[in-house]
Every structure is written in structure tokens, then in C-alpha cells.
Structure 1
């Protein structure tokens, strides 16, 4: 879809590693996309551990995570945090983009400069 056809641009930064909190970010990402927003999900902080955990289809919220991946809503996973949480290899194996432009982390400023509204969770 043409960039001009969207209602707006939203970057969702997921920091919280609690699975229930992360599930809400996933639900909102899908909802925003369905409502015609351009959505980018950035996985940061302790939430990066869930990249490895939710790759297991038996885990709660794994299906929701898979839907978000299939919709190509994950813009990047933090290199520094995923390395610290032990999930960097899993993120790479899943083919997820890795960001590290801000001392090993994704830059919020980059998304603001591209015109995204940034929400943190």
C-alpha cells in the first residue's frame, strides 16, 4: 500500500518482558494495521527474551507472535538486549531484522525523524 494511504505511522517499542504485557503490544500492532496504520514493532529490553520463547508453538501467545511475524510488523530486535537475554541467535534464525545503531540498541530518534508516533510499552 502506498505510504500516503495510511492514517498514520506508529512505532511500538516493546521493552517489558512480561508475556501478558507483550501480548498486548502484539494485539495492538495487529489492530493498528487492520485499522490502516503503518506499524513497526521494535523489540527491546527484557521483551527480547520472548523472541526465543515464543518461537515455541506450545508457549502461550506463540500463535499471536507468529501472526505478527507473518504480517511483517517486526521492524527490528535490539542487538544488545537480545544478546544479554540469550535470544540473539533465535532472532537471527527467525530472520528478524537486528538493530544496533544507538550503542547496540535501536534509536527512537530514527523513528521520530521518519514521522512515526512512538509508543513505549
Structure 2
């Protein structure tokens, strides 16, 4: 029987996500996140919009929760880093969505909330 960690990993591994909303953040329309999962370890790359290149590293913390550290280089040459804690959900059509609370650690102050939806062949929308 698969563990809850492996089920969550299946929802994220080698999948791409688009930003639905991001209060106070730099990622937005045009930013795409690509996640990879190995056991309870998570990594990702992201770019687009105001982000030239970004990376994340983190871990699965529960049946539907993750935590990440992120860093990025913006198109304006800013180097920023921060933390996030997220919840992974699946809707009735099988699309995965991510909801985060996050904050800056370096290069900026404050934080916010963000929501992403899976980029899939089927039509996915944030719940």
C-alpha cells in the first residue's frame, strides 16, 4: 500500500504548475514551476514573467503538506530568497492545486499567499 508521502509525490513529480494568484510576490502570469520528487525530497525550477530563473528545495511534511526554500534571480538582476509552507489538493477532475503561505528571507521583506494550478491536458482550475 503506498504511503501518503508517495501519493503526494505522485501529485507533484514531473508536473508543471501555473500561478493563479500571488499576493506580494514576483511570480505571476507566465511563471511556470516544474517539480521533481524523490521520496520525501522535493526540488523544482521556475521561470517566466519577472523571474529569469528560480529554484526550490524542500520536503514533504504530511499527507497533503510540503515546505520549501526558494531562491530566484529576477529580470532586473535582483537575487531573492524565501520560505514557503504549502498544501496540495486534488479536484474532482484529477487536477492538482497548490496553496502556499510564504515569506522573504533575503533581498526583500514581507510575505504573502500564493496559489498554483497544474498545467495539464485536461482543463484545470484553482478550486
Q: Do both share a fold (TM > 0.5)? A: no
TM-score of the two chains, using structure 2 as the length reference: 0.25
Taking structure 1 as the reference length, what is the TM-score of the superposition?
0.26
**Which has the higher relative contact order, 1 or 2, with Cα contacts under 8 A spaced 6 or more apart?**
1
| Higher strand content, 1 or 2 | 2
